[in-house]
Amino acid sequence: MKFNDIIKKRTVWIVLIVILLLLISLPVLAFYRHPLGPALSSVAPTVSLATKPAEGFTTAVPTTNSTSDLVASNPTTNPTVTIVVNNAANLQVNSSAVCGETGVWNVLILGSDAADLRGEKGSDLTRAALVDFPNKKVNIYAFTRDLWVTTTTAGFTNPAIDADRLGVVFYEARRRSTQPEVRNKMVDGTNATARVMEQNFSLHFDHYLTIDLSQIPAMVDLVGGIPMYVPERTTDPWIGMVIPAGQQTLNGKQVEAYARAIPDSDFGRIQRDNLLVQALRQKLLDPSVWLKIPQLYEQIKGAMITDLSPEQIVNLACLMKITPKESIIQDEVKPEWTSPGPQGSLLWDSNKVSARLKELGLIR
């Protein structure tokens, strides 16, 4: 057999092998780019209960003596959760991709508490995040769970809930869900929260990320803990441990306790959570964490629901890794913008909250 014939035959075999490998990898690529959960739904289902709601839940909007500039919400007519490519105002968007993405996302981030330590179940963490890939910028805005909001877009009927604390919305929708699977119940809770956030804050979300907070300790332990500086000794009767002040590496249980402790107020807890976010970002810079991504991914699948694809999650982690510290803004509803509301809730100044959300590019 001539040498040229041998080369040609080998070339044919190499091409066939490459084609075979591509065919094998197609399902993997499809999965890598396929959303891990359904997109947000703008349609409110009828979520009723045959029995009365649990104690502490509202069945009607009570009459309050709030001042005119401190309101529960600014409802819109027939609100919807609109999926858009770029809904950030006044952003200078570059054409080149950063971490594989060229767009700007609004992401709803929730921390699900199915078994809250305090007995009052609900979303223990509610954040709206602007993720700007082209400009390498991330703005995160926190909402205390005690804000009094209108809930008519959540579809709570029989008995009706027209208003309640923001943190209750997720749990109530999950509790009323007719879905058999826990993950699908969490999706229902997320959808209800997104609709209520749109109704009260004019926020539109492109994506969502809902985390089962009970799964966090195992993930933290897998990456060897979170090094951080704790500014002051932290404890309360509910967390069952004391977090001392100073520089230290918190294990999974300590991270969970520090994130959920409220020795002062929910505003104080938001500040502590912001410190954790900064520490988690710093942890992402550790090369050893990237080596554990396959193991982390297996845990993440069981710890969160999201409409992001695995590829988008990797791209988001990449952005958090390369974004300068000064380009990550964390802010929240200020205590001075609130006043006491019904059932231990907080009324809030819609003008000041809306103005800040616009400054951060989260609403137009």
Over its length of 364 residues, how does the chain's per-residue pLDDT go in tens digits? 554 554 555 555 555 555 555 544 445 555 678 888 889 887 665 555 544 333 333 333 333 333 333 433 333 333 323 223 333 333 444 457 899 999 999 999 998 755 444 445 556 789 999 999 999 999 999 998 899 999 999 989 888 999 999 988 998 898 898 998 888 888 999 999 999 999 999 999 999 999 877 777 888 888 888 888 988 888 877 667 888 888 989 888 888 877 777 776 667 777 787 788 778 777 777 777 766 666 676 666 667 889 998 888 888 888 988 899 899 998 999 999 999 999 889 999 999 999 999 999 999 7
Domain span holding position 239: 43-359
Which DSSP symbol is given to 141?
A: E
CA gap 122, 309 in Å, rounded: 26
What are the E-state strand segments in 246-353?
246-250, 304-306, 328-332, 338-340, 346-348
CATH of the domain at 151: 3.40.630.190
CA gap 38, 179 in Å, rounded: 14
Assign 358 to helix, strand or coil: helix
CB 37 within 8 A of CB 314: no
- Does a structural domain hold residue 229? yes
CB 135 within 8 A of CB 94: yes
| Distance (Å) of CA 228 to CA 34, 142, 221 | 35, 21, 15
Alpha helices in the chain (DSSP H): 3-32, 166-176, 182-201, 216-222, 252-260, 266-284, 287-291, 293-303, 310-322, 350-359
Which is nearest to 61 in space by CA: 134, 161, 140? 161
CB 334 within 8 A of CB 235: no
- How many domains are contained in the chain? 1
- Does a structural domain hold residue 38? no
Here the tokens at position 291 are: 């080596």
What is residue 52's predicted lDDT score, i.e. its pLDDT? Answer: 39
What is residue 289's predicted lDDT score, i.e. its pLDDT? Answer: 72
- Does a structural domain hold residue 174? yes
- Does a structural domain hold residue 24? no
CA gap 276, 47 in Å, rounded: 35
Establish whether the linkage from the previous residue to 287 is cis, with ω within 30° of 0.
no
CB 126 within 8 A of CB 193: yes
CB 239 within 8 A of CB 213: no
Assign 283 to helix, strand or coil: helix
Assign 228 to helix, strand or coil: strand
- Does a structural domain hold residue 5? no
What is residue 17's predicted lDDT score, i.e. its pLDDT? Answer: 57
Sort 65 into a burial class: Cβ within 10 Å, 0-12 / 13-18 / 19+.
exposed
CA gap 192, 207 in Å, rounded: 14
CB 232 within 8 A of CB 104: no
Residues 6+ apart with CB under 8 A from 45: 155, 188
CB 146 within 8 A of CB 344: yes
CB 348 within 8 A of CB 335: no
This prediction's pTM: 0.71
CA gap 354, 298 in Å, rounded: 38
| Distance (Å) of CA 269 to CA 115, 200, 265, 332 | 18, 23, 6, 11
- Does a structural domain hold residue 219? yes
User: What are the counts of helices (DSSP H) followed by strands (DSSP E) for the chain?
Assistant: 10, 14
CA gap 309, 39 in Å, rounded: 11
Sort 233 into a burial class: Cβ within 10 Å, 0-12 / 13-18 / 19+.
exposed
CB 245 within 8 A of CB 292: no
Cross-strand bridge partners of residue 93: none
Going across the sheet that includes 122-132, the strands are 304-306, 207-212, 104-113, 122-132, 137-142, 328-332
What is residue 112's predicted lDDT score, i.e. its pLDDT? Answer: 72
CA gap 191, 341 in Å, rounded: 25
- Does a structural domain hold residue 352? yes
- Does a structural domain hold residue 19? no
